[in-house]
Amino acid sequence: MKKIFFLFFLFAWASFAFSSDTFIVKDMRGKEIPVPKNLERVATIDDGFVEGVMTHLGVIDKVKAIGSWSMKRDYKYDFTTVGGEKYTLRGWNTMKYLHPWLNELPCVNSPQGDIINYETLAKAAPQLVILRIGDCTVRGGNKEAAEKTVSTIEALGIPLVVIYSPTYYGRAELSSIREEMRVLGDIFSQREKALKLYDYLNSTEAMIRERTKGIKDKDRVSVLYIGLNPAARNKGGAGNVFGVNTPESYMIEKIAGAKNAFSSGGANVIMSAEQIYAADPDVIILPTSNGYHPPRELYESPDFTVLKELRAVKNKRVYSMPWSPMNCSRRVEYPIDMLIIAKAAYPELFKDIKVHEYVLKFYKDVYGADDETAKALRSQQILDWTAEYDF
C-alpha cells in the first residue's frame, strides 16, 4: 500500500512539474498523445533504436531512464580453437560507446529482459515514455503481455508514445521503420530530419536492390542465416535459423537477391547438423545470438568440427554480422547488416564497395562521429575484420 501511495505522490509531483503547454503527437496506435513543449525528461524502453534516432536528432541528452541492459553491459567472449589457442572478443552497444553516461541512468527493465520495474520508472519521473514494442525489452509476440505493459504505464499517469518495430507485425519487410521515424521526429519537432534519416538508411537498400535485381533464379546464391546459440547445442541442434517469413530472410531474398537455405517459416528454429548438411549453403551468415560468433568459431571451435565439411566452411564463405546485443528487431545500423549479406553473397557485384569504409561514413553521417570515434564504433561492433580482409 505504501508503494502505491508513493507512486501516486511521485506522479502527482511530476504532473505538477509539467508545463501546461503541450502539443499532440499521434503514435503508431493512432492514439493522440499530449507532449510537453518543455520536454526534458524522457524514458526510453527499447534496445537502442530510439536512442540512435535521438542521437541523430541531437536530443539524446533528454534521456533520463533506459529500458535495456545492453546499454550498461561490457560484453566479453572467450573462444578456444581445436588446437587449444585461446582468444577473446569484446564489444559494446553503439549507444553505450557514444554516450557512456547512459550507463549511470536507471534501467527500468530486469537484467534478464522483458520485465518492467514500474517503481524504477516512477522514480525517474519522466515527462514522457517512448516504448518500442517488438524489441527484446518488450517483445511483440505476446500481444496480451505487451498491452498489459502499455495499460500499466498509462495507469500511472505518464504520457506514453508507442512505436512498433518490424517484428511486432509478424511481417518480414522493414518499411514500418519509416513510421517509427515519423513519430520520433514529431516528438522532438524534427519530422523532416527524422524522415531524411530514414531515406538515408533506405538508400543502401535501394542500391543493393538495383545491383541484384537482374540475378536469375538459377544463379541465386543460397545463404543460411544461423545463430550459433549455445542453447541450441544443449537441445541437440547446431544453431538457430530464420525462415522465409522473417526480416532476416527478407534481407537475404528480397534485397540481396539470394536464396534462404532454410525454406520453412519461423524464427530461431533449431536446426541439426544433419539438416544443415542437407541444405549445404553457399554462404553462412552468423548474427549475434546469445553472444557474438566469429567465423573462426565455425572454422576452428571443437563445438563445430561436425560442420567442417560444409561447402561454405571449406570455401571460407562464412561472415559475421555486426555485434548487436539484444537486437530482437532492427536498429538504426541495419543497412550495415544488409550490405554484409549482399557482399557476402555476391562479392563481384559489390567489389567497388568496401564495408570497412562504408561503416565509417555511416557512423559519421548518422551519429556525427569524427574519424577516431567512427573507427572506435567499428571496433565496438566487432567489424575490424572487414578492414583486415579488405571486405
The ranges assigned to domains in the chain are 2-200, 214-353
**Same fold: 2-200 with 214-353:** yes
Query: How confident is the model over 327-355, as pLDDT tens digits?
Result: 888 899 999 999 999 999 999 999 999 99
Q: Give the pLDDT of residue 20.
A: 67
Q: 352 — alpha (psi -120 to 50), left (phi > 0) or beta?
A: alpha
Q: Give the pLDDT of residue 144.
A: 87
Residue with cell 540475378: 215
**What are the beta bridge partners of residue 42?**
63, 128
Pairing mode of beta strands 22-26, 32-36: antiparallel
Strands, E, within the chain: which ranges? 22-26, 32-36, 42-45, 63-65, 75-80, 86-91, 128-133, 160-164, 222-227, 239-241, 259-260, 269-271, 283-286, 318-320
Instruction: Confirm or reject CATH 3.40.50.1980 for domain 2-200, answering yes or no.
Output: yes
By CB neighbour count within 10 A (0-12 exposed, 13-18 middle, 19+ buried), where does 199 fall? exposed
Q: Quick one: which of 142, 152, 149, 177 has its CA closest to 163?
A: 177
| Rounded-to-integer distance, Cα 359 and Cα 224, Å | 23
- pTM, two decimal places: 0.91
The alpha carbon torsion through 185, 340, 47, 291 (nearest 10 deg) reads -170
* Four-way CATH pick for 214-353: 3.10.310.70, 1.20.1270.10, 3.40.1190.20, 3.40.50.1980: 3.40.50.1980
Query: How confident is the model over 126-174, as pLDDT tens digits?
Result: 999 999 998 888 887 678 888 999 999 999 999 999 999 988 877 778 8
With a cut of 50, list the residues of the chain below it in pLDDT: 1-2, 4-6, 8-9, 12-19
